[in-house]
């Protein structure tokens, strides 16, 4: 059987988390149309009859990092890139022009001393705008090129086939190092962090453009109540009173929408009824403590 580690790298919002979710067949990373959605590396294992693939979904690399959070995200991503990997998947979005940010990521990819590299052109379901011509010069630099739609699940089988071609053969005993006898998909985050991520995703999807970057979610309490009800208390931290007011909304409408949307998905995840208690607090300095 084959097995190995695959590092996925790209600029923010190229579709890395959507790709991971649809390859694994289960939601393991939150998604939204906004930068800073993924803030730490997600690990998940894909399995079929050929073997195992350990995917490392890295946060998007920002071209310019003016705030402390973006700086820490870039730092954490660069640390992940130093890990051993058998294949690097460099993902680009053909609907966005090549710019300084893309050039920065490409420069990092070129410096990675990894055995095999696959260029993945994403979002082929979108015909316009298209800047594919700006990326064609890269085709000769990579061991393979795959053109996909992560969102529409187009050509994902071809991508998986390509990855397996480049993975080494390993003994069954070696595979245990990857799966560690855990149920698939194997994740590197615990349930509490997963719940925090689900709530944060709903904030990204439902609030205005400037709010998500000021927020951090912390699950404070998970308790089983009567009738198999799960009580979850979570704090949404933000940096200013104006953001707190926007998160709560007029007549608490926004916090209700966030809670309802998150609760429905958490119930699917836990397969239990959930009471989600969301509170909003101000902490101007939470970004400094983000790991």
- The confidence score (pLDDT) of residue 108 equals 84
CATH class assigned to 191-289:
alpha beta
pLDDT in 10s for each residue of the chain, 291 residues: 898 889 888 888 888 888 988 988 876 655 545 544 555 567 778 888 998 888 887 765 544 545 555 555 555 555 555 567 899 999 999 999 998 888 888 888 888 888 899 999 999 999 999 999 999 999 999 999 999 999 999 999 999 999 999 998 876 545 455 555 444 444 444 577 778 878 888 888 888 766 766 788 888 888 888 888 889 999 999 888 988 999 999 999 999 999 999 998 888 777 789 999 999 999 887 666 555
Q: What is the pLDDT of residue 187?
A: 43
d(CA 263, CA 280) in angstroms, rounded, equals 16
What confidence score (pLDDT) does residue 185 get?
A: 44
Q: In this predicted structure, what is the pLDDT of residue 184?
A: 42
Would the CATH topology of 2-179 be identical to that of 191-289? Answer: no
Query: What is residue 3's predicted lDDT score, i.e. its pLDDT?
Result: 87
Q: What is the CATH number of domain 2-179?
A: 3.40.50.300
Query: What's the confidence (pLDDT) of residue 182?
Result: 43
Q: What is the pTM of this model?
A: 0.64
Domain ranges of the chain: 2-179, 191-289
């Amino acid at each position: 059987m084959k097995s190995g580690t695959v590092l996925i790298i790209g600029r923010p919002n190229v579709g890395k988390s959507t790709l991971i979710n649809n390859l694994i067949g289960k939601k393991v990373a939150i998604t939204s149309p906004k930068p800073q959605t993924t803030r730490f590396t997600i690990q998940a294992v894909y399995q079929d009859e050929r073997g195992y693939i350990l995917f490392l979904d890295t946060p998007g690399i920002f071209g310019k990092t003016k705030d402390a959070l973006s700086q820490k995200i870039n730092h954490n991503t660069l640390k992940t890139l130093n890990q051993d990997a058998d294949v690097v998947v460099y993902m680009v979005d053909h609907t966005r022009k090549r710019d300084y940010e893309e050039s920065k990521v490409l420069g990092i990819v070129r410096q990675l001393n990894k055995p095999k590299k696959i260029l993945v052109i994403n979002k082929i379901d979108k015909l316009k705008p298209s800047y594919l011509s700006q990326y064609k010069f890269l085709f000769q630099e990579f061991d393979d090129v795959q053109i996909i739609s992560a969102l529409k699940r187009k050509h994902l089988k071809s991508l998986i086939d390509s990855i397996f071609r480049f993975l080494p053969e390993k003994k069954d005993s070696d595979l245990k190092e990857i799966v560690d006898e855990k149920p698939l998909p194997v994740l590197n985050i615990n349930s509490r962090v997963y719940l925090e991520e689900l709530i944060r995703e709903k904030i990204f999807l439902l609030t205005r453009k400037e709010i998500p970057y000021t927020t951090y979610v912390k699950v404070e309490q998970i308790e089983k109540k009567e009738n198999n009800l799960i009580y979850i208390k979570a704090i949404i931290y933000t940096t200013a009173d104006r953001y707190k007011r926007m998160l709560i909304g007029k007549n608490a409408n926004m916090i209700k929408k966030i809670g309802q949307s998150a609760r429905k998905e958490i119930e699917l995840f836990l397969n239990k009824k959930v009471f989600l208690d969301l509170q909003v607090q101000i902490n101007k300095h939470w970004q400094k403590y983000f790991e």
